[in-house]
Amino acid sequence: MTDIRIGHGFDVHAIEEGLPMWLGGVRIESYTGFVAHSDGDVAIHALADALLGALALGDIGKHFPDTSDEWKGADSKIILAKVMDLVREAGYSVSNADITIALQRPKLAPYIQPMRETLAPILGVTPDRVSVKATTTEHLGYVGRGEGCEVWASVLIFK
């Protein structure tokens, strides 16, 4: 019988002018970016937390502490690859992932496909198994005021 596990992740980063904006492993053209210890890729952080959640192995902060110099300015794709090592070590493969990004601006439509194509090989799947969706919050709340970005991610893993 197939052993299936589900995982869910959530992350938020504050937005400031003059910082780089990375989402889903892709550099977003913007005059604002995310305040973070790493490169601030809030989408990858939520996805990594979903994978760790599926394995019941704690969270990204436990595995990649923001007090550690090793992860200062780190490319979050490396963090995701390291989490995938844990998935494989536990004998699991990814079935699919679904990511929802809440960001007021810039518009993410041109970046959705590049994100899917960037994340898929790290997860060991084809891009048709990686969903990336983007929404604004209709100018409501801190996301709507452009103060932050929220991401939710769900994954299924199996063996």
- Binding region for Mg ion (CB under 5 A): 11, 45
**Closer by beta carbon to Mg ion, 45 or else 77:** 45
Burial of 69 (0-12, 13-18, 19+ CB in 10 A): exposed
Nearest distance, CB of residue 33 and Mg ion, angstroms: 13
Nearest distance, CB of residue 158 and Mg ion, angstroms: 26
Nearest distance, CB of residue 140 and Mg ion, angstroms: 22
**Closer by beta carbon to Mg ion, 41 or else 104:** 41
Quick one: how far is CA 153 from the chain centroid? 7
Beta-ladder partners of 12 = 150
Nearest distance, CB of residue 66 and Mg ion, angstroms: 8
Task: Judge contact between 94 and 153, C-beta under 8 A.
Answer: no
**Closer by beta carbon to Mg ion, 66 or else 158:** 66
Nearest distance, CB of residue 116 and Mg ion, angstroms: 20
**Closer by beta carbon to Mg ion, 66 or else 105:** 66
Task: Judge contact between 51 and 93, C-beta under 8 A.
Answer: no
Helices (H), the chain: 42-55, 60-63, 76-89, 112-123, 141-144
**Closer by beta carbon to Mg ion, 11 or else 150:** 11
Closest CB to Mg ion: residue number: 45
Closest CA to 124 of 89, 152, 91, 84: 84
